[in-house]
Amino acid sequence: MTLRAEAIEYTLGFEGGFSNHRHDPGSKTIYGVASASWPEWYRYIMAAYREDDIVEAQKRALQFYREEIGSKRPFGDIEDINLQALVFDMHVNHSFRGAGLTIQKALNYLSSGLNMNPLTEDGWMGAKTVARANELHRRYPEAVLAAICSERYKYYQSLIDRNSNLQSFARGWARRCFPPQL
pLDDT category, 107, cuts 50, 70, 90?
Answer: very high
Contacts 24+ apart (CB under 8 A), 1-4: 1/76, 1/77, 2/70, 2/76, 3/66, 3/70, 3/75, 3/76, 3/84, 3/88, 4/76, 4/81, 4/84, 4/85
pLDDT category, 19, cuts 50, 70, 90?
Answer: confident
Instruction: Summarize pLDDT for 56-89 with one digit per residue, the tens.
Output: 999 999 999 999 988 888 888 999 999 999 999 9
pLDDT at 1: 64
Q: Does the pLDDT of residue 25 top 80, yes or no? A: no
